[in-house]
């Protein structure tokens, strides 16, 4: 298949200022894809973003991170499909959902550019579902087949919810669950690789505040959520360290054991814990959180494998 025909995708990859590793990963996403429908959707997605966002000079940081996130979520979705032995049609629809799941975010970035409020005004999942399935039916740019419209709309609409509503149809539930797990996984894998600068930017702190981050007390409700195998609500986060614990607790939002296996194989959880140094009571609480989280993951996955970040027991002693 001639990949030079997909000029919008190739142009986007060239414009994203990627690390060599990410450039290789995202270039191979197109090169290795054999499904023409997925290839078309990927190229059309990039064309849509060029048409609707002000990328004339450079791609802004928010848009850049969401484009990379969307494409990497496709990769994780496809890996989940492989591990769950799904067929080619199910893989195709899951890939389309993953590609478009945050399309509402780009409209918000454009609409609220410069205000810092694009993520607050309205839920981007609902925004994305409306964009794709309103009277203009934007979805037809990416997928001509309308057989899965209701499933795609609901999967995008519900992907950011704390929990899914009751979905009696097993096929629809599968699609909704795979995008939620893929989205969470990509966020966890990405955040676990934060540089010091990226962590400061994400938490909106300076270098001096970063040095004392490990001294902050973890809020009671956040600590209890971590011990009770629950994700953390935004309203419970009171301190910056609460946000870091919140990242870790995203693990409890994963529904498939295959997703937890991907997380464990990557070593993302130990890396997240090691982003900063902890002291005093916070150190004790983080040890407890780690042990609970580690036991939870191992209870639902295959036999533990040696982590690529070193021996966890030794690391716990050093924490």
User: Would you state the pLDDT for residue 3?
Assistant: 60
- Tell me, rounded to whole angstroms, the distance of Cα 266 from its chain centroid: 14
Cα–Cα nearest to 281, from 223, 232, 215: 215
Phi first, then psi: what are they for 110, rounded to 5°? -70, -45
pLDDT of residue 57: 53
- The torsion angles phi and psi of 137, rounded to 5 degrees, stand at 50, 60
CA separation for the pair 37, 185 (Å, rounded)? 25
Check residue 115 and give its pLDDT.
53
pLDDT at position 309 is 41
7-to-1, 33, 43, 44 alpha-carbon distances in Å: 14, 15, 7, 10
Residue 178: exposure state from Cβ atoms within 10 A (0-12, 13-18, ≥19): buried
- Report pLDDT for 55: 63
Contacts of residue 28, Cβ cutoff 8 Å, sequence gap at least 6: none
DSSP 233: P
Quote the CA–CA distance of 173 and 155 in Å, as a whole number. 8
Tens digit of pLDDT at every position of the chain (319 positions): 556 689 999 999 999 889 999 999 999 999 999 999 999 999 999 999 988 876 655 677 888 899 999 999 999 999 999 999 999 999 999 999 999 999 999 888 777 665 555 455 468 899 999 999 998 899 999 999 999 999 999 999 999 888 888 999 999 999 999 999 999 999 999 999 999 999 999 999 999 999 999 999 999 999 999 999 999 998 999 999 999 999 999 999 999 999 999 999 999 999 999 999 999 999 999 999 999 999 999 999 966 444 444 444 443 444 4
Burial 180-190 (b: 16+ CB within 10 A, else e): bbbbbbbbbbe
Domains of the chain as residue ranges with CATH:
3-187 (1.10.3210), 192-318 (no CATH)
């Amino acid at each position: 298949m001639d990949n030079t025909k997909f000029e919008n995708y190739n142009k986007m990859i060239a414009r994203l200022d990627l690390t060599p590793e990410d450039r290789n990963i995202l270039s191979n996403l197109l090169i290795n894809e054999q499904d023409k429908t997925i290839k078309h959707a990927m190229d059309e997605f990039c064309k849509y973003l060029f048409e609707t966002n002000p990328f004339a000079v450079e791609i802004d940081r928010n848009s850049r991170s969401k484009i990379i996130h969307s494409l990497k979520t496709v990769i994780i979705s496809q890996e989940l499909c492989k591990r769950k032995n799904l067929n080619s049609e199910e893989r195709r629809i899951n890939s389309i959902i993953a590609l478009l799941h945050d399309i509402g975010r780009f409209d918000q970035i454009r609409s609220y550019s410069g205000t810092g409020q694009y993520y607050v005004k309205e839920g981007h999942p609902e925004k994305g579902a409306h964009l794709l399935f309103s009277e203009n039916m934007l979805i037809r740019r990416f997928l001509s087949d309308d057989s899965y419209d209701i499933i795609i709309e609901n999967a995008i609409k519900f992907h950011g919810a704390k929990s899914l509503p009751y979905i009696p149809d097993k096929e629809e539930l599968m699609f909704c669950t795979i995008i939620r797990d893929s989205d969470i996984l990509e966020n966890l894998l990405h955040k676990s690789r934060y540089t010091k600068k990226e962590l400061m930017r994400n938490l909106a702190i300076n270098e001096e505040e970063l040095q004392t981050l490990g001294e902050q007390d973890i809020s009671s409700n956040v600590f209890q959520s971590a011990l009770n195998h629950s994700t953390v609500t935004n309203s419970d986060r009171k301190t910056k360290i609460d946000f870091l614990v919140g990242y870790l607790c995203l693990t409890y939002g994963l529904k498939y054991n295959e997703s937890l296996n991907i997380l464990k194989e990557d070593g993302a959880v130990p890396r997240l814990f090691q982003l900063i140094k902890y002291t005093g009571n916070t150190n004790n609480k983080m040890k407890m959180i780690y042990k609970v989280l580690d036991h939870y993951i191992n209870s639902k996955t295959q036999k533990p494998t040696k982590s690529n970040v070193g021996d966890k027991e030794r690391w716990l002693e050093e924490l």
